[in-house]
Structure 1
Amino acid sequence: MPHRGEPRIRVGIGGWTYEPWRSVFYPKGLPQKRELEYASRNLTSLEINGTYYGSQKPESFAKWHAETPDDFVFALKAPRFATNRRALSEAGESIERFFTSGVMELKDKLGPINWQFMPTKKFEPDDFEGFLKLLPKTVGGRSIRHAVEVRHDSFRTPDFIALVREYGVAIIIAADSHYPQIADITAPFVYVRAMGTTEAEDAGYSEKALDTWVDRARQWASGSMPDGLEVVMPKQHAQVSSRDVFLYVISGFKVRNPTAAMAMIERLG
């Protein structure tokens, strides 16, 4: 495994508690309290969705840190109270509350924060910049990586790309879904949510699709930009020699998501 600090490609799923995964992803008879232990040893990251709906206890974050391998990383969905509001620039209290709720108990296993917006939220430049100004670069001496998941066509503009690039915030790439895809690279890491698994494929994705996603992940990690994705500003992306990549298999035919993620990890070697 690469040493900490080197670019990593991490592949995972959303959450780890899902009844249909039992006896499919999880071995038959595995106690529910050991599902995180099992998932974190077969995947390299998990996106925690529960933080979107409400606060978790600091003890829970500390427990998740303790139950997972040293090089494991969690991405967190930020609370909807910060993003589902008319004036984003007034979200300061919600953002501060989130970072003091116990999330820092994940310590070095805290990965990027996903700030997800409703499909009806339109791009308003001044207000959105006001929101970006509220996102802390560090908390308790630890650097924080931010990513925004925007789902309205009004964000497909050079002004939005330039704005998030100025603040070093990543645009989450919506893949294989009906949401607008904005694959412009605006930060020193890449965050992808692949939502195209189907029941028809044993591994959720076809062999060709799995190979394509793995190839894209490798290109991103090497600092280049893969072809075949929708971008607003084709000839511009954050210039770096390498990047961390976070790829989560989300939604779609959810039962197959762990299989698809593990297939990608296997291909990555």
Structure 2
Amino acid sequence: MDDLPHPESASAPPPKSRTSPAKRPRAGIVAQPPDDETVALAAALSPNIRLGTSSWGYPGWQGLVWVGRHGESNLSRQALSVYAQHPLFRAVSIDRGFYQRLTASQYERYAQQVPADFRFTIKAPSLVTDALVRSEDGRGRQTNEAFLDPRLAIQEFIEPVLQGLGEKAGALVFQLSPLPLQMLDRMPAQLDRLHALLGALPSLRERSPDAVVAVEVRDPEWLTPDFVAILKQHGARYCLGLHPKLPPIDHQLPLLRAMWPGPLVCRWNLHRLHGPFGYEDAQKRYGEYDTLMDPDPDTRAVLAKVIHATAQAGHAAYVTVSNHAEGSAPRSVKALAQALVDEAQAAAAAAPSQEA
């Protein structure tokens, strides 16, 4: 694509089929047999591409991911192994750890439910990523003295993830919540905090070779050359956040170019039509999360170009999609997979004319 480098395609064997006969966990949840189109899309994707959803326990996904109706609580506890049988799902985002830290044994239970080639995107707890201590309604009550504390980040996030998930850890994401105005006015100090945090983190390679640290933000004030320099210095990645609080994806491409080359981490969180504070509106509108109510083909097409360029360069692409992106995360993932296949075909067709 014009907005990213075009390295030569690295030859790679086609991915093995990830389909298998439906298995019945003790909860009685059975995988929805994939249709031929889904199987073909999965087989056509580069093994470097890991698509998935934000969490998995949604009753409305019946007929998309599993057979029949199941309660949300039952699904959240028991359905991960069924989710991981879906041919297109080679990753998932564990979001609950943002609200309450998870233990190594909890992460280990997740790891035991998925195949060896599956990878997790994991959000760091808000204990270290939110500058404010918040009430249950989300309002900031007081300054969080533990914000970006390196010791707590390692103790409460990095170590439990590595101990529990091991080689199945993918993207370890520090999602930095919106800063209060007095901190936005002092961004050099916040960049110093981030620099200290990233510099203190241990290397992930020996314990989880595919794992990367990524930083996602909610304030565009972070998106500066100094921010990029800090990430590059410490080998961290920018998490491409598709959220109305940030510029649209095409406006974030210069930052991705500045970070090139390397793995891609992306979280498609919320459709722009809902605005920066639109989660409640999205929840009400999308209901069961079984329909693409607000398709966003423009975002999907640009994202497909970025993913394709990353995979062609031989780097991993960890991309997870929320129900709030278009209305139904499983359907969004399938549509994105189709966009990726289309992009690959278009690139292959254009290659001879470029050489000429």
TM-score, reference length from structure 2: 0.60
Does the CA contact (< 8 Å) of 1:25 and 1:259 recur in 2?
no
Within 2, Cα distance between the matches of 1:89 and 1:263? 36
Within 2, Cα distance between the matches of 1:102 and 1:212? 31
Is 2:263 aligned against 1:189?
yes
Q: How much is the aligned-residue C-alpha RMSD, in angstroms?
A: 3.1
1:141 to 1:72, Cα distance in 2 relative to 1, 3 A:
closer
1:71 to 1:266, Cα distance in 2 relative to 1, 3 A:
farther
Q: Counterpart of 1:221 in 2: which secondary structure?
A: helix
Structure with greater Cα Rg: 2
Is 2:97 aligned against 1:51?
yes
Within 1, Cα distance between the matches of 2:103 and 2:155? 16
- Which of 122, 136, 142 aligns to 2:202? It is 136
- Which of 295, 304, 321 aligns to 1:205? It is 295
Match of 2:165 in 1: 106
Match of 1:151 in 2: 218
- Which of 261, 265, 268 aligns to 2:337? It is 265
Does the CA contact (< 8 Å) of 2:238 and 2:265 recur in 1?
yes
Is 2:200 aligned against 1:126?
no
Q: Counterpart of 1:172 in 2: which secondary structure?
A: strand
Match of 1:96 in 2: 155
Match of 1:62 in 2: 108
Within 2, Cα distance between the matches of 1:210 and 1:129? 32
More helix by share: 2
Does the CA contact (< 8 Å) of 2:239 and 2:264 recur in 1?
yes
Deviations for 1:225-250, whole angstroms, at most 9, x for unmatched residues? xxxxxxxxxxxxxxxxx321111112
Match of 2:130 in 1: 84
Deviation at 1:161, TM superposition (A): 1.1
Q: Counterpart of 1:178 in 2: which secondary structure?
A: coil
1:66 to 1:141, Cα distance in 2 relative to 1, 3 A:
closer
TM-score, reference length from structure 1: 0.78
Within 1, Cα distance between the matches of 2:97 and 2:173? 10
Match of 2:230 in 1: 163
Which segments of 5 or more consecutive residues in structure 1 lack a partner in the other structure? 224-241
Within 1, Cα distance between the matches of 2:295 and 2:212? 29
1:81 to 1:89, Cα distance in 2 relative to 1, 3 A:
closer
1:206 to 1:163, Cα distance in 2 relative to 1, 3 A:
closer
Deviations for 1:114-155, whole angstroms, at most 9, x for unmatched residues? 101112264333222112112222386434410001122221
Does the CA contact (< 8 Å) of 2:168 and 2:208 recur in 1?
no
Within 2, Cα distance between the matches of 1:212 and 1:157? 22
1:28 to 1:39, Cα distance in 2 relative to 1, 3 A:
same
Deviation at 1:255, TM superposition (A): 4.7
Within 2, Cα distance between the matches of 1:133 and 1:56? 23
Deviation at 1:98, TM superposition (A): 2.2
1:207 to 1:159, Cα distance in 2 relative to 1, 3 A:
closer
Within 2, Cα distance between the matches of 1:69 and 1:266? 24
Does the CA contact (< 8 Å) of 1:151 and 1:180 recur in 2?
no
Q: Counterpart of 1:67 in 2: which secondary structure?
A: coil
Does the CA contact (< 8 Å) of 1:174 and 1:180 recur in 2?
no
Match of 1:218 in 2: 308
Is 2:54 aligned against 1:14?
yes
1:212 to 1:157, Cα distance in 2 relative to 1, 3 A:
closer
Q: Counterpart of 1:41 in 2: which secondary structure?
A: coil
- Aligned residue-pair number: 249
Deviation at 1:55, TM superposition (A): 2.6
The percentage of counterpart residues that share the same residue type is 19
1:218 to 1:64, Cα distance in 2 relative to 1, 3 A:
same
Q: Counterpart of 1:142 in 2: which secondary structure?
A: coil
Match of 2:278 in 1: none
Within 2, Cα distance between the matches of 1:98 and 1:202? 34
Q: Counterpart of 2:67 in 1: which secondary structure?
A: coil
Deviation at 1:80, TM superposition (A): 1.1
Deviation at 1:106, TM superposition (A): 1.4
Deviation at 1:100, TM superposition (A): 3.4
Does the CA contact (< 8 Å) of 1:99 and 1:139 recur in 2?
no
Match of 1:229 in 2: none
1:126 to 1:208, Cα distance in 2 relative to 1, 3 A:
closer
Q: Counterpart of 1:71 in 2: which secondary structure?
A: coil
